[in-house]
Structure 1
Amino acid sequence: MTVLNFSLTPEATARVYELLVCLAKFGESVAIEAKSDKLTITALNLSRTAYASFSLDARSFFISYDFHGSPGVKGGDRFTCQLLNKALQSVFKGRANDSRGRESTVERCDVHVQDQPDKTECRLIVKMLCRHGMTKTYRLTYEPTEVMHALFDRNAATQGWKISARVLREYVEYFGPKTEQLDLLAEEGKAIFTSFTEKIQDGKEVLKQPLETAVSIHTEDFEDFHMQESMHIVISVKDFKAIVTHAETLRGSISAHFSFPTRPLQFSYQNSGVHCEFTLMTTGDYRGASSTLNPNFISTRASSRQQSIAPPVAAPSRRTSEMPPPARPFGNKPLSSQSQRAPLKPRSNQAATEESDPDPESLFMPGGDGDQTWDPPNYEQEEEEEMLGWDASNEDPSASFHPTFRDSGTVPRAQKDRQPPTYGSQEGLEPTQRLSQLHGMFD
């Protein structure tokens, strides 16, 4: 035979009603699990995508707490049962101080379990001891059940944040009442909460609530923030509102622990002997957040911030390997010939474009040297420019592995036309006839 007896103060009685209202958002029934050190009340939705748990500490939450399990029975160190949430709410409703300042008439609440073999039905008996010697007794029928708990590994949840529940409650009021999904995103030093819906009306491709509400909270408003940038995690708006609303009643801070989309997310907070945990399944995508080997994190932690800003080590070696070394020149062919100069021109133009880095959102073209790109081509000026080439000389072997600025030795075209032609070149043929022997058509 199991013995479970505990007593509550008027404030603790009001806490029980508040947590029952929160659990009603997750399921119609609640499960109670009693142990020697705590009393746990849980709820699991029908789709098994959201789990809520409230653990009441035996020493700090109750006036008195007495539990004795059934010895010699499997699982006798705990007691589990299941009840309808509406039945419990009707018992604890209105036992707290109302908004008008009137005090509650309840002085103490006593609860004990009737689990005796000689009784036909199992009962959960609740007695409200009120003023002037009046006592209200409620007998609720329960059924034995096996409580299911959601497992969550805090070590695997490397990302998360922590913020005051009062601050977060102010932003939750902006979300629409008919929205379904909530998108969590970290971008540009802010946490963005976006509520939206995907429902259509009567098979038509028309959304019931096409409006999206986005709320941005700066990371400085969080007590702790560490989340990968451009990563979307989607949860239910209904569950999030229920969690934040109850967390605000405890006047504490709410923490979120998660790893990646499609992995569980857990909200937790505690105060006044109540430890609350909510485990939710998530959806979402990365949208390029995990495409890099070293993803950026928006974090208030100094170590993580320095790690995200540090450039990758392999970047300089990869840039050098993009340009293959030129072929070794043969004979008297100069290094600055047109065949070797062609692949280097696009390379220099691309480097100049990367250094300018214009504003993509600007309506105007950048000024300065960028205006020359719209001028007509001037081939004479291009011939006089210095070209970026490879130093293939054998004078300095170490210089052949690094790109250097090399003088091509070109001369302007006007001076080149005034120079007398050289007939001693080996590349052409010597003349076979004198100019005096040439005769025109009218000679």
Structure 2
Amino acid sequence: MNCVIEGNCVKVFGKAVHALSRIGDELWLDPMVKGLALRSVNSALSAYGCFLFSPVFFQQYSLSGQDRETIRCKVVMKSVLSLFRCLTSIERNVEQCHISIPAPTDRVMIQFFCRHGVTKTHNLSFQESEALEAVFATHFCPNVLKAPARLLGDMVIHFPVFQEEITLSMTPLKVCLRNYQDGGGGHMKMMYTEMSLHPDEFDHFQMGEDSNITFCLKEMRGILSFAESRCLPVSVHFGAAGNPVCFSVEEVVLEATVVLATLTQSESSGPAQPKHSPAPTTPRCAAPPAAVCEGHSHIHHDALLGCERIASSQSSTVISSPELIHLLPRIGDPAGPCEAEECGSATATPASATVCSLLFKALSSKQEEDDDDDGCAAKLPVLACYSDEDCDGDEDNHQLM
């Protein structure tokens, strides 16, 4: 096999290598009569990519008799990617690229003929392998989308680079893309992004059934970047969850296909967005805080009898008792006298009502007098006494001495 790539087409060939490098760690070179095919598949066999360059794409493309039958070589992706890593430099300096597979050797020779007569020759070892091809009939897919690569790229660019999977939803009214969340414990640290497009935004919109599929984003970025550089539309063929999704690009001189596996219905049924639950609200107590403890004074009085008093470093008394933890849910129990009308909020929880009482008790020095007037003899335990009382107590002790 011997082919010659001219001028700007070298950059296009390098773009295809970049797109396939997002899929797998190995690159298959498959010279055929209808053109040179570049293929790759990931280790999990869940992503497959193929770029087929027709003979018209090359300035020269020829096959020997042996090439038509046996040559199917597999090379390491990193070796080929290192040759086409800097596409800007290639576009500026490389005039021709020769790719050949000499029959008696097990090497692929790639030559760059640069400006000023500079020639770079690279020999890559390859391993003979069987043909690699994904069997997927796109004409059986009930849903088909076709849109400019720039439109899909503008949607994907809003997702972070570390985003692994996205969910594509399709209804008669809109097409949505959102990041997928598997329901792990780190969902609170994640930013949820969802974008939707009207069917009129697409060049072709065919819907056979409502779909909600989840697939990897990394492989999709590769073919979108390639199609956007060539200003080509991207076609998307898919069906129900669990069936593959196919992204394809067609041109006169090349064809590109990326097939991705999707999550099954049970795996993708988890919510991609957090369910809207009423946010906990802090109760706005309309009555004085002392009213919260009405009807429960005997509970706190009995509980305080078993408490242990510990002297702190500021000569104040700290009440330590594990029984208080069990008493917190009982304070403000809806079955008791402390109902929502006393606190002014129907969403007040027992713990929040207790915190409200403790905060108001610690901040208001006048509450002691109000509580005594209202007959609330036993009060909620205060975890920190007033600093003014401590100072007054110290001054009285100095006067007595």
Return the match for 2:96 from 108, 118, 132: 108
Contact 2:143 2:209 in 1 (8 A): no
Return the match for 2:33 from 32, 36, 40: 36
Alignment map for 1:31-70 (pairs within 5 Å): 31-58=28-55, 60-70=56-66
Contact 2:19 2:219 in 1 (8 A): no
Alignment map for 1:119-134 (pairs within 5 Å): 122-134=106-118
Q: How many Å separate the matches in 2 of 1:218 and 1:96?
A: 36
Contact 1:199 1:208 in 2 (8 A): no
Contact 1:113 1:125 in 2 (8 A): yes
Match of 2:234 in 1: 254
More helix by share: 2
Give the match's secondary structure for 2:66: coil
Match of 1:168 in 2: 152
Q: How many Å separate the matches in 1 of 2:17 and 2:151?
A: 23
Give the match's secondary structure for 2:240: coil
Q: Check if 1:81 corresponds to 2:73.
A: yes
The letter of the residue matching 2:107 is R
Residue identity (%): 23
Return the match for 1:90 from 71, 74, 82: 82
Which one has a bigger Cα radius of gyration? Answer: 1
Match of 1:12 in 2: 9
Q: How many Å separate the matches in 1 of 2:195 and 2:262?
A: 19
Q: Check if 1:235 corresponds to 2:215.
A: yes
Give the match's secondary structure for 2:159: coil
Contact 1:34 1:78 in 2 (8 A): no
The letter of the residue matching 1:17 is G
- Residues 263 and 122 of structure 1, relative CA distance in 2, 3 Å threshold: same
Give the match's secondary structure for 1:176: coil
Contact 2:214 2:262 in 1 (8 A): yes
Q: How many Å separate the matches in 1 of 2:24 and 2:211?
A: 30
Query: C-alpha offsets along residues 203-232 of structure 1, whole Å, 9 cap, x if unaligned?
Result: xx3338532210111111101112256431
Deviation at 1:180, TM superposition (A): 2.2
Q: Check if 1:157 corresponds to 2:149.
A: no
Q: How many Å separate the matches in 1 of 2:69 and 2:164?
A: 41
Deviation at 1:284, TM superposition (A): 4.8
Match of 2:368 in 1: none
Q: How many Å separate the matches in 2 of 1:258 and 1:188?
A: 15
Deviation at 1:188, TM superposition (A): 5.7
Q: How many Å separate the matches in 1 of 2:129 and 2:183?
A: 36
Query: C-alpha offsets along residues 313-335 of structure 1, whole Å, 9 cap, x if unaligned?
Result: xxxxxxxxxxxxxxxxxxxxxxx
Query: C-alpha offsets along residues 121-164 of structure 1, whole Å, 9 cap, x if unaligned?
Result: 51111111122222111111111111221111123112211000
Return the match for 1:186 from 170, 192, 217: 170
Alignment map for 1:398-437 (pairs within 5 Å): none
Q: Check if 1:216 corresponds to 2:186.
A: no
Match of 1:24 in 2: 21
Give the match's secondary structure for 1:104: helix
Q: How many Å separate the matches in 1 of 2:248 and 2:173?
A: 24
Match of 1:401 in 2: none
Contact 1:196 1:213 in 2 (8 A): no
Q: How many Å separate the matches in 1 of 2:213 and 2:92?
A: 43
Contact 1:231 1:285 in 2 (8 A): no
Regions of 4+ moved over 6 Å = none
The letter of the residue matching 2:6 is T
Query: C-alpha offsets along residues 170-218 of structure 1, whole Å, 9 cap, x if unaligned?
Result: 1111112222221111236111111123374xxxx33385322101111
Q: Check if 1:206 corresponds to 2:186.
A: yes
Give the match's secondary structure for 2:207: strand
Q: Give the TM-score taking structure 1 as reference length.
A: 0.57
Match of 1:416 in 2: none
Q: How many Å separate the matches in 1 of 2:38 and 2:217?
A: 23
Contact 2:238 2:244 in 1 (8 A): yes
Contact 1:61 1:274 in 2 (8 A): yes
Q: How many Å separate the matches in 2 of 1:177 and 1:93?
A: 19
Match of 1:139 in 2: 123
Q: How many Å separate the matches in 2 of 1:51 and 1:152?
A: 11
Give the match's secondary structure for 1:249: helix
Structure 1 gap ranges (5+): 288-443
The letter of the residue matching 1:148 is L
- Residues 199 and 185 of structure 1, relative CA distance in 2, 3 Å threshold: closer
Contact 1:115 1:123 in 2 (8 A): no
Match of 1:279 in 2: 259
Deviation at 1:242, TM superposition (A): 2.2
Query: C-alpha offsets along residues 270-301 of structure 1, whole Å, 9 cap, x if unaligned?
Result: 236120011111125499xxxxxxxxxxxxxx
- Residues 208 and 179 of structure 1, relative CA distance in 2, 3 Å threshold: farther
Return the match for 2:224 from 244, 258, 274: 244
Q: Give the TM-score taking structure 2 as reference length.
A: 0.62
Contact 1:230 1:286 in 2 (8 A): no
- Residues 206 and 131 of structure 1, relative CA distance in 2, 3 Å threshold: closer
Give the match's secondary structure for 1:155: helix
The letter of the residue matching 1:252 is L
Contact 2:209 2:239 in 1 (8 A): no
Contact 2:211 2:239 in 1 (8 A): no
Contact 1:232 1:284 in 2 (8 A): no
Give the match's secondary structure for 2:57: coil
Structure 2 gap ranges (5+): 268-401
The letter of the residue matching 1:160 is V
Q: How many Å separate the matches in 2 of 1:217 and 1:65?
A: 43
Higher relative contact order (CA 8 A, sep 6+): 2
- Residues 51 and 208 of structure 1, relative CA distance in 2, 3 Å threshold: farther
Q: How many Å separate the matches in 2 of 1:209 and 1:237?
A: 20
